Chains A and B, each alone.
Chain A
């Protein structure tokens, strides 16, 4: 069974810092890996989707990398802002549709 782990569980940084969130998974036979953001009381917003054949994806201040063979992904957030405060979830799929989620990293960016 696929297990997805996210480290750290919580992170607090001052505004302006660059930061890295980590995700690991046990079964490397994935179709893709996605990073989501969840704000309190709201649904999930997709940030980046990396196909299994890709190594990284970038969107604005976000960069996600994928090392499929080692079962690892990182989400890099540059020049963090208070508006980045949220829970970040990593998810992989072995079926092509059903997502297996980690438990998330709760990020707080302080002004």
Chain B
């Protein structure tokens, strides 16, 4: 079946603009995750959604970052007033139930460049 999809694949924006990144998880997966991969920083956890529970936002780097998950499926990560240090690849993943025994399946990512 279809894997995790993300759009856009690439996004170039000017400093100060807002951007929205979209993630479509695997159908039937109740858990959804956002990660960021920065040059030299490695992959870092941003936010976790599980069903109807309140999301774990502990990894969001600042209040300029927010995420929503509508209808328990599609998720949007929004970055307001983008800064150059926000340039990175943003990866979305989903898993069946969010259990520690579940494999996380990753999308291809959105490469964000802030000029």
Seen from chain A, the residues whose Cβ lies within 8 Å of a Cβ on chain B are 31-32, 34, 36, 41-46, 49, 51, 89, 91, 93, 95-104
Contact = CB atoms under 8 A, between A and B. Distances in A.
Nearest to A4: B42
10 contacts: A49-B103, A51-B100, A91-B43, A93-B100, A96-B98, A97-B31, A97-B48, A100-B45, A101-B43, A102-B42
A89 B43 contact: yes
Interface residues of B, number: 27
Contacts of B25: none
A98 B59 contact: yes
Contacts of B42: 101-104
A84 B43 CA distance: 21
Nearest to A98: B45
B101 interface: yes
B100 A97 contact: yes
B103 A31 contact: no
Given A96-B99, A96-B100, A103-B42, 13 more contacts: A34-B103, A41-B108, A42-B109, A43-B4, A43-B91, A49-B103, A93-B100, A97-B31, A97-B48, A97-B98, A98-B45, A99-B33, A104-B42
Given A97-B48, A98-B48, A99-B35, A43 B101 contact: no
Contacts of A42: 108-109
B65 interface: no
Contacts of B48: 97-98
Contacts of B59: 98
A34 B31 CA distance: 17
